[in-house]
Amino acid sequence: MRIAYLTGEYPRATDTFIQREVMGLRALGVEVQTFSIRRPGEEHLVGEEQKSEAAQTVYILPPNPLKLVKAHLSLLLRSLGRYLRSLKLAWSTRQPGLRGLAYQLFYFLEAGILAQEIQAQQIEHLHNHLATSSGTVAMLAAELGDFTFSFTLHGPYIFFEPERWRLDEKIQRSRFVCCISHYCRSQGMVFAPESVWNRMHIIHCGIDPSLFEPVTHEGIGHRLLFVGRLAAVKGLPILLESLAKLVSTYPELELTVVGDGPDRTALEERTATLGLTSQVKFVGYQSQAEVRQHLQQTDVFVMASFAEGVPVVLMEALAAGVPVVATQIAGVGELVENGVSGYLVPPGDAESLADQIRSLVANPELRSRMGSAGRAKVFQDFNIHHEVARLHRLMQNALSGKESPIRIEQIESSEPVQLHR
């Protein structure tokens, strides 16, 4: 099987789950060529795994003008009817206004380059992650190039503007859709006709839990960790406010913030305003190996997000035996069992967040018990080896015209998929 993977920007330090999936499919014998609309910034190439993937990826932008003209001319001469149908699809799925029309023209031009490249490499199927602008390019490329496409639906952003991104059209035209949670699938069902609901399947983003050694919990748990993009949706001001409520009782508390983003400067200023400079350390983006090292030195993982899919970093924390305190949003409850592997709190509630952090900080036995439960959950339901095997089976079935259940039964392989360590 020879397939293409397309994302808007690959590889990114924040999207390691896509890299794991690609490497897992390759380990199962699938030839995967990665494509990306744009090159990631140097800040995302934090480890050898990212640098290796970047070297193998074909980038659409910036386009070579001659290559752009040749691609579209070749597609036009190969099938005038298909080219005109693709133009009609681009027109009918454009966003409102002149700006929307301009963007759609860019997507169509990018789709031509991608379609020509996929045809030249004799690739039989295209898979997209995230389904927003790069999903539009994938849909148009599949129409231009006369091949099938599919995508993984994550949320939350596409659910904010489903009409803008024509989620309905993408689901109807896809060969299949991977949904990262039942919550995610339910949101897709809102916008897709009932006749295509059976195309949407549950494929979790997964991790390799064997890479994580379980943490030993003793005494007061003063080491807190957050990993993620420093943006408004992550709720970091709420987390800082909750920390400010705790330091009078637990002055030794430390919060390590791994990640970067547009709000970093404002968050550092907020930290200083709250008098937390000595308790909070911002360390920027880190490699996968470095994140694992941080988890080995963590007592409680904290997440105050307002919107998420199913965060991979929560899987990593649980795999390391670290209990989590997270907001009860979207599909998080399908991973974190409240009162079993951590605590779920209402989003935007600094008091509740502080209360549950306090419960774990003060109780090493509780941290240990919850950590063990979380680790077992990840091994069972969010193991990359099992999820890649499910995805592989789903692709095989879909491309051969066979039906698959919503959630394919666990597939055991004789040898585990070997991923970058």
Return the axis-axis angle of helices 384-399 and 16-27, rounded to nearest 10°: 70
pLDDT tens readout for residues 303-325: 999 999 999 999 999 999 999 99
155-203 per-position pLDDT tens digit: 898 999 999 999 999 999 999 999 999 999 999 999 999 999 999 999 9
Q: State residue 410's pLDDT score.
A: 82
Q: What letters, b where the CB count within 10 A reaches 16 and e where it falls short, cover 231-253?
A: beebbbbbbbbbbbebbeebeeb
The pLDDT of residue 411 is: 74
Tokens linked to 175: 């060969």
Cβ pair 36, 19 in contact under 8 A: no
Nearest CA among 255, 42, 3, 258 for reference residue 122: 3
Residues 154, 130 contacting (CB under 8 angstroms): yes
Closest C-alpha to 140, from 160, 116, 176, 164? 116
What is the average per-residue pLDDT within 120-124?
96
Question: What is the architecture, at CATH level 2, of domain 2-206+383-399?
Answer: 3-Layer(aba) Sandwich (3.40)
Tens digits of residue pLDDT in 343-392: 999 999 999 999 999 999 999 999 999 999 999 999 999 999 999 999 99
What is the structure's pLDDT at 43? 84
Within this chain, domains 2-206+383-399 and 210-381 share the same CATH topology? yes
Distance of alpha carbon 151 from alpha carbon 250, whole angstroms: 46
pLDDT at 358: 97
- The dihedrals phi and psi of 121, each to the nearest 5 degrees, come to -90, 5
Domain parsing of the chain, residue ranges: 2-206+383-399, 210-381
Burial of 50 (0-12, 13-18, 19+ CB in 10 A): buried
Q: Looking at residue 47, what is its pLDDT?
A: 80
Q: Cis link prior to 62 (omega < 30° from 0)?
A: yes
Q: Is 264 helix (H, G, I), strand (E, B) or coil?
A: helix
Phi-psi category of 236—alpha, beta or left, where left has phi over 0 and alpha has psi -120 to 50?
Answer: alpha
**Alpha carbons 319 and 380: distance in angstroms, whole number:** 11
Average pLDDT across the chain, whole number: 95
The answer to whether 312 and 285 have CB atoms below 8 angstroms apart is no
Q: Does position 294 have pLDDT exceeding 60, yes or no?
A: yes
Q: Would you tell me which CATH number, out of the four given (3.40.50.10950, 3.40.50.2000, 1.10.3720.10, 3.30.1490.190), belongs to the domain 210-381?
A: 3.40.50.2000
Segment 275-289 shows an average pLDDT of 95
Tell whether pTM > 0.85. Answer: yes
CB of 137 within 8 A of CB of 151? no
State pLDDT tens for residues 17-73: 999 999 999 999 999 999 999 999 988 888 888 899 999 999 999 999 999 999 999
